[in-house]
Structure 1
Amino acid sequence: MTHLLKNLTNSIWHAFHALQVDGAFVVAKSKLKVLTANIGTLMDLYGIEKGLEHYRSTQTLTFEQYVYYLQKEVFSSVTDTTPIQTCRNLEEGIDEICWLVCRKMYLNRIHPVFEDHSVYQLFRIFCLLGEMEADVTDSLYLVTAHSDEVAQIASQFVTSLGLNWDPLDFSALAVAIGTFRFSTFLAVLESKYSGGGSLDAAALTEAIDDLYQTYVEDVLKKGYLMKKGFLLPTLRCFWFVLRPGELTYCKDSQQKEASGIITLDVNSWADAASSGGKPDRKFILSTPEHRCIELVAEDHRGRLQWLSALQIAIQHSTEKIGYQRTLAYQRRSTRQASRQQREETRLELQHERQARIAAEIQARKLEALSKEENAKVQELEDVKKRLEILLQEEKQALRDEEIVRALQARVLREEWERREQLERLQKEQQDLLESEKLKLIEFERKQHDNERQLEDAEIRLQQLESEKQSLDSELKSAREKARLAEEAQILLEAQIVSVRPPGSGERIRRTQSFIPTTKERPLILEKLEERAITLQKNC
């Protein structure tokens, strides 16, 4: 089976590289016998290493020669009828043998971060995703991983650790590194993407285990599901692990032995359980062996993820090449197609460049031949050019003259417009000055009238003030007279009472009628005060 050797070529190269001495790119047959014997023992082929003595007449073999021997003498015992699980076990065992040969190269590090078992898991992942490339000569090969594959592994590893993935930073790092060999791949993960020593070793081991299960063991999905029993219709929780072609379940994630295995093939199918058109967690898995199995996910999203993963597992159940390896081959084919397309484009551009150069050379030859024929024509063309230049200059002069005239006319028109505007502004200013003069004359007239009225008012105020003073003096004299009259009346009344003769009452009353009474005197005073107040208001 050719694909088994193809899957193991990268790990065998690492073992071969570890056995070579002083970078000679060849290994002694004595060392290769030990490696071949271990591989043959694993495949139940004993004494297969003895054939190396008669294979070629040299004491050393190149990697290409050694792989050819393995293909013809060792892996030819594996046929297409060999079970897939047997091939996977052989692949795992041979990878482990190759790792035992070359692990000393990769485990001796200055500042180790990962455990030895985790480094072995990364080694298998690298061998799965790596590409064999010829370097310099056909006898020299290198196993490298493309930067896209390394980015995919690193991003998944960083995400599993709960860190942030920066694709731009990795792109710059990939450009600086160039080629990712396993030692470089391991150093990048340990030094840059392992959390800088802040994470627990258990977390790093768990993240690498997840990568190993995904890429090497082809685990499509894992998690807890509720499964309805065959005999008792009760739901029990199991830890399910889905791979292409099989679905295993255990009591919990720590259990190593499976409680059951459900085989998947092309006749299997998975579909959501109907629940009145509403989103539900249940789904049905039907296989020829177990018929319908009812499973329940944690939520509706989990059910959709399990259904998608089951479809992939059923679709790839009959393939003898692993699912992740198939995806890696597809990505590799895509990159090779892209490189081939770029190479074809480069060749096309090169052919076009060569054709252009040939055309330029032919053009130079034709130009050299035509120079003699065009010598006389050139003189006529020169004369024609000079005449055309003179004509163009004359036309240009006429155009310049027209432009200057147009500019002068425009400038003159603008000057007339400015002059009209200035005259209009001057007239408006004169009108404003005339109106201001009239307003000033009117203001002076009104001011003169106000001054005259003010002088009249002051004269009138002085008159009123003098009248008020005279009235005040009259009021004062009247009050004094009234007081004197009241006192005289009192004295007179007293005299009259004291010496009043009989029959003199009528004369006394006549005398009293000329003297204001006590009630009449306040009235007289009030009238005088009112007249004085009136005079003050008028003032």
Structure 2
Amino acid sequence: MWLRDELLKSIWYAFTALDVDHRGKVSKSQLKVLSYNLCTMMRIPHEPTAFEEHFKDDNEGPLSNEGYMPYLNRYILDKVSEDFDVIEFYRMCWTLCYKKNIYAQRLIISDNDAFKVWCIFNFLSEDKYPLVIVIEEVEYLLRKLSEAMGIGWNEERFVDYKLQQNTKSSLPVWELIELVGLIYFSKGMERQILSMGINEVFSELILDILKQGYMMKKG
């Protein structure tokens, strides 16, 4: 079975994307639709009556992430099997959130490559919310991408980047996507080569592990 924590990361982005007022709460009607979509993607029978019964004392809404979590765990995640397309599940959650958080036209990478960076970020991030990636993992990813593109690692360039960050020790996913798709590899880098590098790292860290039937952090 897929690790619950890995699935929750993507669902968290879907939930926060629906929180248009940034109050940490989402309407019941939106969560009902989200629950239906999650069940559909995970091939879990949807129980609309269970949703209404579970939230019968919250008719006024909206619901917080903490308020939604018990339902999500009991009626959806507890019923997850391995018989669903995890990448398409990730893509559904990505589709809900990315246009609200990045200006894709600025990037030198495609939406699909940005999605792959998002998946890699979720894999490397810790299970603490809001999700961030620590600077050591940023270096790890940039090294992997440099190696995949055959350009070699430029230690001086990364040191300069860290100095520009001042005391910043972590990045949210949208800043990482901009770092990879706009800032770090933009000078003299062909889009096709960067795309191939992202795809290679995505295949190694995400697809190959999914094919093995389990999720495991790098050791």
TM-score (normalised: structure 2):
0.85
Alignment of 1:144-163 (within 5 A): 144-161=132-149, 162-163=151-152
Match of 1:321 in 2: 214
Alpha-carbon spacing, 1:211–1:184, altered in 2? closer, same or farther (3 Å): same
Asked if the contact 1:13/1:143 (under 8 Å) is kept, the reply is: no
Match of 1:192 among 183, 186, 203: 183
Higher strand share: 1
Asked if the contact 2:10/2:93 (under 8 Å) is kept, the reply is: yes
The 3-state SS of whatever aligns with 1:148 is: helix
Match of 1:69 in 2: 71
Alpha-carbon spacing, 1:76–1:90, altered in 2? closer, same or farther (3 Å): farther
Asked if the contact 2:148/2:201 (under 8 Å) is kept, the reply is: no
Per-residue deviation, residues 5-27 of structure 1 (Å, max 9, x unmatched): 21111111111111102210111
The 3-state SS of whatever aligns with 1:321 is: coil
Q: Quick check: 1:115 aligned with 2:114?
A: no
Alpha-carbon spacing, 1:72–1:216, altered in 2? closer, same or farther (3 Å): same
Q: Quick check: 1:168 aligned with 2:159?
A: yes
The 3-state SS of whatever aligns with 2:217 is: helix
Asked if the contact 1:36/1:49 (under 8 Å) is kept, the reply is: no
Contiguous gaps of at least 5 residues in structure 1: 134-140, 220-242, 246-319, 331-539
CA distance in 2, matches of 1:124, 1:48: 29
Match of 1:20 in 2: 19
Match of 1:128 among 116, 123, 142: 123
Deviation at 1:121, TM superposition (A): 0.7
Task: For 1:326, give the aligned amino acid.
Answer: K
Deviation at 1:107, TM superposition (A): 4.5
Which structure has the bigger radius of gyration? 1
CA distance in 2, matches of 1:38, 1:124: 19
Alignment of 1:244-393 (within 5 A): 320-322=213-215, 325-327=216-218
Per-residue deviation, residues 80-105 of structure 1 (Å, max 9, x unmatched): xx55xx3xx44323211101211212
Deviation at 1:73, TM superposition (A): 0.5
Alpha-carbon spacing, 1:202–1:145, altered in 2? closer, same or farther (3 Å): same
The 3-state SS of whatever aligns with 1:143 is: coil
Q: Quick check: 1:207 aligned with 2:197?
A: yes
Task: For 1:51, give the aligned amino acid.
Answer: A
Asked if the contact 2:123/2:217 (under 8 Å) is kept, the reply is: no
Asked if the contact 2:104/2:111 (under 8 Å) is kept, the reply is: no
Alpha-carbon spacing, 1:11–1:244, altered in 2? closer, same or farther (3 Å): closer
Q: Quick check: 1:7 aligned with 2:6?
A: yes
Task: For 1:39, give the aligned amino acid.
Answer: L
Alpha-carbon spacing, 1:76–1:206, altered in 2? closer, same or farther (3 Å): same
CA distance in 1, matches of 2:171, 2:48: 33
Task: For 2:69, give the aligned amino acid.
Answer: V
CA distance in 2, matches of 1:244, 1:110: 33
Q: CA RMSD in A?
A: 2.4
TM-score (normalised: structure 1):
0.37
Deviation at 1:185, TM superposition (A): 0.8
Per-residue deviation, residues 326-348 of structure 1 (Å, max 9, x unmatched): 32xx5xxxxxxxxxxxxxxxxxx
Deviation beyond 6 Å, 4+ runs, structure 1:
none
Per-residue deviation, residues 360-398 of structure 1 (Å, max 9, x unmatched): xxxxxxxxxxxxxxxxxxxxxxxxxxxxxxxxxxxxxxx
Task: For 1:207, give the aligned amino acid.
Answer: G
CA distance in 1, matches of 2:54, 2:165: 42
Q: How many residues align?
A: 213
Contiguous gaps of at least 5 residues in structure 2: none
Q: Quick check: 1:177 aligned with 2:177?
A: no
* 115-124 vs 39-48, which moves further: 39-48
Deviation at 1:176, TM superposition (A): 4.2
- RCO higher in 1 or 2 (8 Å CA, sep ≥ 6)? 2
CA distance in 2, matches of 1:187, 1:46: 38
